[in-house]
Amino acid sequence: MLYCCCHIWGFSAGKEIKLLAGKRKDKNGKVLEKNESQRPNGLYQYSYTDPYSKERKYLYAKTLEKLREKEKELWKKLNSGVDYNSANITVYELVEQYIDHLESRRDTTIKNYKARLKMVEQEPVIHQKIMDVKVSSVKNLIGKMHKDGRAYKTITSVIAVLKAAYNMAIEDEVIVRNPFGIRMNKVLENDTEERTPLTAEEQRNWLTFLWNDETYSKYFDMFALLLFTGVRVSELCGLTVSDLDFENRRIFINKQLKKREGKYFIDLPKTKAGNRSIGMNDNAYYCFKHLLENRNAPMEEPVVGGYSGFLFFTQDGKPMVGENISSKMAWAEKKYNKQHPDNQITHVFPHRFRHTFCTEYLDKMSLKELQAVMGHGTPTQILNVYGHANKELAAEKMAKSQNIIDISTLRATAQKKMRG
């Protein structure tokens, strides 16, 4: 048996380690080195143990060459460590270095972190030395962002990135305190509107309108599937014909289709739990069947990230993404409310359908089962996001619960005796 001897840089006292890689190959016949693999969707993966957190982490790339570039850069950074320059760097520089070390995170996550840093790059506190930042300065930053019209949720996400960067420095024993570790609700009132699911009546009214409307009936299957499956809109857009198993009534969720700056791309599920198969109920089965029978695919199937066979297309034959569906939904909502002035529905958007689905299944599945269906990383996410539904469900069950003793009967009996 032949073996390929290769050099892999590992984090081990800065020394170069020689490792033998077995004769494993990718789909193109290229030999894969140790810890490298190719996923069924063609994406390349490299696994390693983070020397700081001791957690198993992963790098991903569309090509083997790109993956190996990432490997080389990763170990270069890990072997050199973060250059804190004796804590003489600014908050901005610290966050930049923190983001640079997020090699195992999804590209979209890193882009989001960079976007959050950009939101505050002009604020004075961001350019202070990390040792000089005070809690009062952080409170002023929060107040300034709120005054500038930033939403509570947005401000929270920005502070979370700054907090995480400081935690990295604390773990490396460069600093001992984290001024960004304050509780947001102690500084700013959470004015975020609570998400509410659609009621049963609203669902019926909305679906009936879509079914009968001359313009929007062609989108019935697409809108209804969000309600009947609970998937994220980017996951629905990422579905291909091969992801549907009608015989076993299964839907395979393994990717998200997105578009940024005019370019389509395939993104991995948000969490490991996001890569899942879910059941196909009768309503979903009907919608998918009808959809495939009337699928208006262009002559030349679009290919994104090696995938083709998408289910939804724009008028010019491009695959639909979340913003396309949200836009059509908004126009449909406007028409519905114009026709139903006394029975309007507000805030109709894709994620509200997912919210509705999850709320409805809270009393039909265990939290662990529902977590698997929704693709959440932990059951805690369901409790946090849908906590209001849990409270209402608990109150409803309590109101309907049977008591050991029927007090009303006892009282009636006592009153009867008194009269006797």
Give pLDDT tens digits for 287-341.
Answer: 999 999 998 888 899 999 899 999 999 999 999 999 999 999 999 999 999 999 9
Measured from the Cβ of residue 361, the count of other Cβ atoms closer than 10 Å reads: 16
For residue range 351-363, list pLDDT tens digits in order: 899 989 988 888 7
pLDDT confidence band for 262 (50 / 70 / 90) = confident
In the residue annotation, 270 being an active-site residue is answered as yes
Q: What is the CATH number of domain 4-78?
A: 3.30.160.60
Enumerate the CATH 3.30.160.60 domain ranges in the chain, comma separated: 4-78
In the residue annotation, 347 being an active-site residue is answered as no
pLDDT confidence band for 77 (50 / 70 / 90) = low
Ranking 74-83, 88-97, 334-343, 400-409 by mean pLDDT, the lowest is: 400-409
* pLDDT above 90 (res 253): yes
pLDDT of residue 193: 65
- What distance in Å separates the CA atoms of residue 302 and residue 319, rounded to the nearest whole number? 7
In the residue annotation, 195 being an active-site residue is answered as no
Q: Three-state SS for 32?
A: strand
Q: What is the largest CA-CA distance in the chain?
A: 102
Q: Which structure tokens are listed for 155?
A: 């401000």
pLDDT of residue 392: 54
For residue range 388-407, list pLDDT tens digits in order: 555 555 445 444 544 445 54
In the residue annotation, 105 being an active-site residue is answered as no
Q: Of residues 270, 276, 328, 352, which has the active-site annotation?
A: 270
pLDDT of residue 51: 64
* pLDDT above 50 (res 264): yes
- What distance in Å separates the CA atoms of residue 368 and residue 413, rounded to the nearest whole number? 47
* pLDDT above 60 (res 93): yes
Enumerate the CATH 1.10.150.130 domain ranges in the chain, comma separated: 91-187
Give Cα separations from 343 to 224, 238, 337 (angstroms): 20, 34, 7
Q: Which structure tokens are listed for 30?
A: 């290229």
Q: What is the mean pLDDT of residues 47-59?
A: 76
pLDDT confidence band for 52 (50 / 70 / 90) = low
CA-wise closest residue to 90 among 165, 177, 173: 165
Q: Which structure tokens are listed for 143?
A: 């107040």
Q: Of residues 58, 289, 351, 361, which has the active-site annotation?
A: 351
Q: Of residues 116, 232, 258, 259, which has the active-site annotation?
A: 232
- What distance in Å separates the CA atoms of residue 287 and residue 207, rounded to the nearest whole number? 12
Enumerate the CATH 1.10.443.10 domain ranges in the chain, comma separated: 200-396
Chosen CATH of 91-187 out of 1.10.150.130, 3.30.2350.10, 3.30.1360.120, 3.40.50.720: 1.10.150.130
pLDDT of residue 320: 94
For the chain, the average pLDDT equals 82
Q: Tell which wins on pLDDT, 402 or 261.
A: 261
Q: Give 258's DSSP letter.
A: E
Tell me the whole-structure pTM to 2 decimals: 0.60
Q: Of residues 255, 259, 328, 354, which has the active-site annotation?
A: 354
* pLDDT above 90 (res 419): no
Q: What is the mean pLDDT of residues 182-201?
A: 83
Pairing of strands 244-245, 56-61: unpaired
* pLDDT above 50 (res 181): yes
Element (H, E) at 39: none
In the residue annotation, 355 being an active-site residue is answered as no
Q: Tell which wins on pLDDT, 382 or 404.
A: 382
Q: What is the mean pLDDT of residues 21-30?
A: 76
Q: What is the mean pLDDT of residues 72-101?
A: 75
* pLDDT above 80 (res 54): no
Q: Is 131 exposed, middle or buried (0-12, 13-18, 19+ CB in 10 A)?
A: middle
* pLDDT above 50 (res 7): no
Q: Tell which wins on pLDDT, 23 or 184.
A: 184
Q: Three-state SS for 188?
A: coil
CA-wise closest residue to 241 among 159, 313, 139: 313
pLDDT of residue 404: 47
pLDDT of residue 319: 94
Amino acid type, 276: R
91-100 vs 107-119: helix crossing angle, rounded to 10 = 170
- Contact (CB, 8 A) for 322 and 237: yes
* pLDDT above 90 (res 280): yes
In the residue annotation, 354 being an active-site residue is answered as yes
For residue range 126-164, list pLDDT tens digits in order: 999 999 999 999 999 999 999 888 888 899 999 999 999
Q: Three-state SS for 26?
A: coil
Share above pLDDT 70 across residues of the chain, in percent, rounded to a whole number? 80
CA-wise closest residue to 278 among 249, 307, 303: 249
CA torsion angle for 81, 85, 90, 94 (degrees, to 10)? 0
CA-wise closest residue to 106 among 139, 131, 70, 75: 70
Q: What is the mean pLDDT of residues 187-209?
A: 85
CA-wise closest residue to 315 among 323, 306, 324: 324
Dihedral angle sign, alpha carbons of residues 329, 334, 340, 341: positive
Q: Which residue, chain included where needed, has tokens 């350019």?
A: 127
Give Cα separations from 109 to 73, 112, 157 (angstroms): 19, 5, 12
Element (H, E) at 134: none
Element (H, E) at 71: helix 64-80
Q: What is the mean pLDDT of residues 14-34?
A: 65
Q: What is the mean pLDDT of residues 267-284?
A: 86
CATH topology of domain 200-396: hpI Integrase; Chain A (1.10.443)
Beta bridge partners of residue 277, listed in sequence order: 252
Measured from the Cβ of residue 266, the count of other Cβ atoms closer than 10 Å reads: 18
pLDDT confidence band for 87 (50 / 70 / 90) = low
Q: Which residue, chain included where needed, has tokens 């009808």?
A: 290
Measured from the Cβ of residue 168, the count of other Cβ atoms closer than 10 Å reads: 19
- What distance in Å separates the CA atoms of residue 88 and residue 204, rounded to the nearest whole number? 61
